């Protein structure tokens, strides 16, 4: 299938089964209904799934506003100092425009570079790293002052997965993913909590910690980068969580299915 399109290869991966009856059902789902197969289980997952991995930021917790405020505090302080020393006007960080354009969905260092480029500012790499470290300190200060909000549907899905005997992991490329879980009061819902690692190693480390292989694990991600990493690592099923107002197109990056809330997978199986 080397020359087949990504969509055909994705469907074929689900159609190929050792059990002929199951394979035929998946073929119908994939080719006649035009959808990646949604297995007939209470969780809406492939029957072979033994574990679920959930991204902390965006899937489990509503942290965008906290990150945006931390970046604003940091950038405004730096920009004000720069304005004073250079005599140029101080143009504050815009919580909506600057955050969404430069930081949302990006690794921190990449976001800083994007913001500095947008402002026409060149800094030594050591200074960029120092700014990144300080942002982490500001974020921790905010976390100590207030509780992180969760996405109720995602938490309900995690609880349902555990009730069905699946192992669960929370993953975050941020250095503060575990602190986010603790602030939200949901850290005890996960058998493994992996942070401060970029994907796909982030996801692979979580699967190892749970004692499962990638083709036994399901990944819930809300960013194109996270989805693409999960697909490249050959996870059993990659579910893109497309929150309202967030960038769409997760299917184009390799998601088997897009949902606005993981709890939507449970609604198919009432009671």
Dihedral sign, CA of 206, 211, 215, 220? Answer: negative
**pTM for this one?**
0.79
Distances (CA, A) of 176 to 57, 81, 201: 10, 27, 17
- For residue 128, which of 194, 187, 74 has the smallest C-alpha distance? 74
Q: Residue 123: exposed, middle, or buried by beta-carbon count in 10 A (0-12, 13-18, 19+)?
A: middle
Q: Regarding the domain with residue range 38-62+149-265, which homologous superfamily does it belong to in the CATH classification?
A: HAD superfamily/HAD-like (3.40.50.1000)
Q: Which fold has domain 64-145?
A: DNA polymerase; domain 1 (1.10.150)
Contact in structure between 89 and 79 (CB atoms under 8 Å): no
DSSP state of 61: B
HSE-CB for 168 with a 13 A CA cutoff = 23
Domain chopping of the chain, boundaries: 1-32, 38-62+149-265, 64-145
CA distances from 38 to 11, 16, 223 (A): 12, 15, 21
Got the DSSP string for 88-153?
A: PPP-PPPTTHHIIIIITTS-HHHHHHHHHHHTT----HHHHHHHHHHHHHHHHHHHHHSPPPB-HH
DSSP per-residue letters across 25-47: HHHIIIIIS-S----SSTTSS-T
**Do the domains at 38-62+149-265 and 64-145 have one common CATH topology?**
no
pLDDT tens digits in sequence order for the chain, 271 residues long? 444 444 444 444 444 433 444 444 444 444 433 445 554 578 999 999 999 999 999 999 998 899 999 999 999 999 999 999 999 999 999 999 999 999 987 888 999 999 999 999 999 999 999 999 999 999 999 998 989 999 999 999 999 999 999 999 999 988 899 999 999 999 999 999 999 888 899 999 999 999 999 999 999 999 888 999 999 999 999 999 998 655 568 999 999 999 999 999 996 654 4
Q: Give the C-alpha separation, 56 to 180, whole Å.
A: 8
């Amino acid at each position: 299938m080397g020359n087949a399109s990504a969509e055909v290869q994705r469907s074929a991966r689900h159609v190929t089964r050792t059990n002929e009856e199951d394979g035929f059902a998946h073929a119908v789902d994939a080719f006649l209904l035009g959808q990646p197969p949604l297995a007939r289980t209470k969780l809406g997952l492939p029957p072979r799934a033994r574990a679920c991995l959930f991204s902390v930021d965006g899937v489990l917790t509503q942290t965008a506003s906290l990150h945006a405020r931390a970046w604003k505090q940091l950038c405004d302080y730096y920009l004000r100092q720069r304005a004073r020393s250079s005599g140029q006007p101080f143009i504050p960080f815009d919580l909506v425009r600057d955050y969404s354009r430069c930081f949302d969905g990006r690794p921190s260092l990449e976001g800083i570079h994007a913001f500095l480029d947008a402002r026409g500012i060149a800094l030594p790499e050591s200074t960029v790293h120092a700014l990144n470290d300080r942002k982490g300190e500001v974020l921790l200060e905010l976390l100590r002052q207030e509780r992180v909000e969760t996405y109720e549907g995602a938490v309900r899905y995690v609880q349902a997965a555990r009730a069905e005997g699946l192992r669960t992991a929370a993953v975050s490329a941020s250095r503060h993913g575990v602190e986010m879980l603790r602030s939200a009061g949901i850290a005890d819902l996960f058998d493994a909590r992996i942070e401060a690692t970029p994907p796909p190693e982030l996801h692979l480390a979580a699967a190892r910690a749970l004692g499962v292989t990638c083709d036994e694990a399901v990944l819930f991600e809300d960013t194109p980068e996270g989805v693409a990493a999960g697909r490249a690592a050959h996870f059993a099923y990659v579910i893109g969580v497309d929150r309202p107002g967030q960038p769409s197109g997760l299917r184009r990056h390799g998601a088997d299915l897009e949902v606005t809330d993981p709890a939507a997978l449970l609604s198919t199986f009432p009671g």
